[in-house]
Structure 1
């Protein structure tokens, strides 16, 4: 049986989510806490990687359940008693032996927050992208509609010589909503490529300020050229909001 746990974290002081032996990461901190509790190293898997500075409301990790006496509540409380203050386990459930959060995920939802005011708010400097210029939400929505569906997202992927995955991806839906002082870009898809969501946001902002017409985004898909799209939006505005799984692995 596997333990599945939902972890939220402030990504400000992490060098990303994936374990690295020489820098502080989310997976590294979780691994240390698990080793303290269970007195042995246990392999952990996660639903998806987040870059340095990116936050998560709902990252999902799994590891083997080796102590049958511990309840879900016990595991949650034990982890939270050890994890650092910029991480917290939100939920724990026991699931099937073959559960892999990366493979079992059917949808991943990201939310990007833009603080759209003339004056900077220093308390939001690591929580949202401060953008002081007016943005045309309707044009951004029109542009985003071209990205929904199954496409080659080469123009929206930051190159990585170690990543040979196909650029073909499906975006189920993109919503752009003004919430008081913020503009939220919500992207729903099954899987993503390196900095794909942040590159999409950077491009939509270019449309929002009038640099490009919404139809240019459709042209970008056909160009398959990263250099023709917008700059990468800052990491601190991005949140992994939710991961959804097949029913057989979800918490009852």
Structure 2
């Protein structure tokens, strides 16, 4: 039986999602617990890779269950009883054999939180990007429109990513929430390395009025990472949801 777990994690103390030798990762901890529960190595597949320090709320991890007698509730309870305190399984669902969360996802949604205030909130320091300057939300919304649709996102990728840079963003929403929090919600099919954080970095540059909204179109068409500002920091980013 193949199942899919919907998993939340605090990315602060992880070297990203994907399993790697000698460093602590979400997938590494998850597979360690699967081995403990089922007394054998169990391979898992995630819906997306998050970087060091990035959080998950709706990550989807699929795996095969060697013990057919276990119910979905048994599996969820066993995982949560053994996982470290910074990973929590929100739900376990039965899926068809050979289901691949990475290849079958039709939409991935990321949330990025900015805390806009003169003073930092130290209790949110691993949860948001503290930004002590004014942001023009209307200009940021205008700029975001240039990023929606199918484009070559070479300008917005970081480092060694040889995948096709043509990606589709369905929608970007920028919402002013309570308690000085700004939410940037990015919905797309799939994303390049650090693409969401690079988009947020550019939108904030517009928000501070260093750039006009139209300049986003110019740097997008330039297809050069050197034209874009630094990435937004990882702690404000959450892998929020996956649709299939």
Alignment correspondent of 2:118:
118
The correspondence of residues 69-148 of structure 1 with structure 2, limited to 5 A, is 69-148=69-148
Q: Is 1:237 equivalent to 2:236 in the alignment?
A: yes
Q: Is 1:35 equivalent to 2:30 in the alignment?
A: no
Flag structure 2 segments of 5+ consecutive residues without an equivalent. Answer: none
Specify the SS of the correspondent of 2:226. Answer: helix
Specify the SS of the correspondent of 2:76. Answer: helix
Alignment correspondent of 2:52:
52
Specify the SS of the correspondent of 1:218. Answer: helix
Alignment correspondent of 1:171:
169
- Give distance in 1, aligned partners of 2:162 and 2:196: 18
Specify the SS of the correspondent of 1:204. Answer: helix
- Give distance in 2, aligned partners of 1:102 and 1:117: 37
C-alpha displacement of 1:95? 1.0
Flag structure 1 segments of 5+ consecutive residues without an equivalent. Answer: 246-252
The correspondence of residues 216-235 of structure 1 with structure 2, limited to 5 A, is 216-235=215-234
- Give distance in 2, aligned partners of 1:164 and 1:229: 19
- Give distance in 1, aligned partners of 2:236 and 2:32: 28
- Give distance in 1, aligned partners of 2:39 and 2:240: 32
C-alpha displacement of 1:230? 1.7
- Give distance in 2, aligned partners of 1:98 and 1:125: 40
Specify the SS of the correspondent of 2:106. Answer: strand
C-alpha displacement of 1:146? 0.3
- Give distance in 2, aligned partners of 1:13 and 1:224: 33
- Give distance in 2, aligned partners of 1:94 and 1:68: 12
Please give the per-residue CA displacement for 1:50-102, whole angstroms capped at 9, x wherever unaligned.
00000011111011122110000000000000000000000001111120000
C-alpha displacement of 1:104? 1.1
Specify the SS of the correspondent of 1:192. Answer: coil
C-alpha displacement of 1:12? 0.2
- Give distance in 2, aligned partners of 1:177 and 1:155: 25
- Give distance in 1, aligned partners of 2:229 and 2:207: 11
- Give distance in 2, aligned partners of 1:3 and 1:120: 41
Specify the SS of the correspondent of 1:102. Answer: helix
Please give the per-residue CA displacement for 1:101-150, whole angstroms capped at 9, x wherever unaligned.
00111100000000001111100110000001000000000000000000
Question: What is the TM-score when the length of structure 1 is the normalising length?
Answer: 0.95
What is the RMSD computed on CA atoms of the aligned residues? Answer: 0.6
